[in-house]
C-alpha cells in the first residue's frame, strides 16, 4: 500500500513551508533520547553500511534553542553503501529531501497533516564528510559561540520565516567562520 505522505514530494516549496512552519524551541532533554532510539533503528536497518551515526544540529547542543527536528548524520564506507542505505531508507518510509554528489538527505515525521510528534533529518554521507560533527563539538565546548549561534538563528527566523532556504543560507557564514576555531578532525 503506497504511503500517502509521499504526496509531499510533489508539493511546491511555498506549500511545504506553510504546512511545516519553522519554529525554535527551548532545548529539550528528550531530543537525546529520540536520537538514541532512532540511531538504534538506523543501525538495525542499515547494518554495516552505517560506519558511524552522529547526533548533529542544534538539538545536540544543550542550552540553546533549536528547531524540534533531530538531525542525524550517517557515515557510509563508499558510494555503493551510500546507495544501498538510501534504498533501504526509501523503502522504509523515509522521504527523500535532497541528493547531491556523495550526500543524500531523508526526513521522517513529515505528514500531510503537518509535523509528527517526532521529526528527523537523516543525512547520508561518505566516511569523513562530517564537518557538522566538529561544529557540534565546538559549540559544546564554547558556550559563548553556542549563544551567538542561537541569537543568529532567532534573528534569521524573524527576518526570513517561512523561507527555510534563506534561513539556512544566513547561518552559513557563521558556520564557515567557526571552522577555523575548531581543533582536531571533524569526525
pLDDT tens, 140-176? 999 999 999 999 999 999 999 888 889 999 999 999 9
State residue 187's pLDDT score: 67
C-alpha cell at 100: 547531491
C-alpha cell at 85: 542505505
State residue 1's pLDDT score: 52
State residue 152's pLDDT score: 98
**How many other C-beta atoms can be found within 10 angstroms of the C-beta atom of residue 113?**
8
State residue 186's pLDDT score: 61
- φ, ψ for residue 155 (rounded to 5)? -65, -45
d(CA 13, CA 17): 6
State residue 184's pLDDT score: 53
State residue 4's pLDDT score: 79
CB 54 within 8 A of CB 72: yes
Q: Which residues of the chain have pLDDT under 70?
A: 1-2, 182-187
State residue 154's pLDDT score: 98
Residue 82 CA to chain centroid, in angstroms? Answer: 17
Radius of gyration of the chain (CA): 16
Q: What is the dotted CATH code of the domain comprising 4-130?
A: 3.30.460.10
Using DSSP's 3-state secondary structure scheme, residue 156 falls into helix
State residue 3's pLDDT score: 81
**How many other C-beta atoms can be found within 10 angstroms of the C-beta atom of residue 174?**
15
Domain regions of the chain by residue span? 4-130
Rounded alpha-carbon distances, angstroms, from residue 4 to 87, 112, 113, 181? 19, 8, 11, 45
State residue 183's pLDDT score: 60
Amino acid at each position: 500500500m503506497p504511503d500517502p505522505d509521499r504526496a509531499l514530494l510533489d508539493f511546491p516549496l511555498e506549500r511545504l513551508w506553510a504546512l511545516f512552519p519553522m519554529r525554535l524551541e527551548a532545548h529539550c532533554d528528550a531530543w537525546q533520547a529520540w536520537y538514541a532510539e532512532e540511531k538504534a533503528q538506523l543501525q538495525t536497518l542499515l547494518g554495516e553500511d552505517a560506519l558511524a551515526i552522529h547526533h548533529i544540529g542544534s538539538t545536540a547542543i544543550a542550552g540553546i534553542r533549536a528547531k524540534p527536528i533531530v538531525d542525524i548524520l550517517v557515515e557510509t564506507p563508499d558510494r555503493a553503501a551510500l546507495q544501498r542505505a538510501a534504498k533501504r531508507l526509501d523503502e522504509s518510509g523515509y522521504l527523500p529531501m535532497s541528493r547531491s554528489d556523495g550526500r543524500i538527505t531523508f526526513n521522517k515525521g513529515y505528514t500531510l497533516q503537518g509535523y509528527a510528534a517526532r521529526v528527523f533529518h537523516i543525512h547520508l554521507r561518505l566516511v569523513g564528510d562530517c564537518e557538522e560533527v566538529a561544529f557540534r563539538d565546538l559549540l559544546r565546548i564554547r558556550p559563548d559561540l553556542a549563544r551567538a549561534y542561537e541569537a543568529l538563528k532567532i534573528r534569521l527566523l524573524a527576518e526570513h520565516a517561512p523561507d527555510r532556504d534563506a534561513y539556512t543560507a544566513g547561518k552559513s557564514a557563521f558556520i564557515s567562520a567557526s571552522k577555523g576555531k575548531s581543533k582536531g578532525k571533524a569526525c
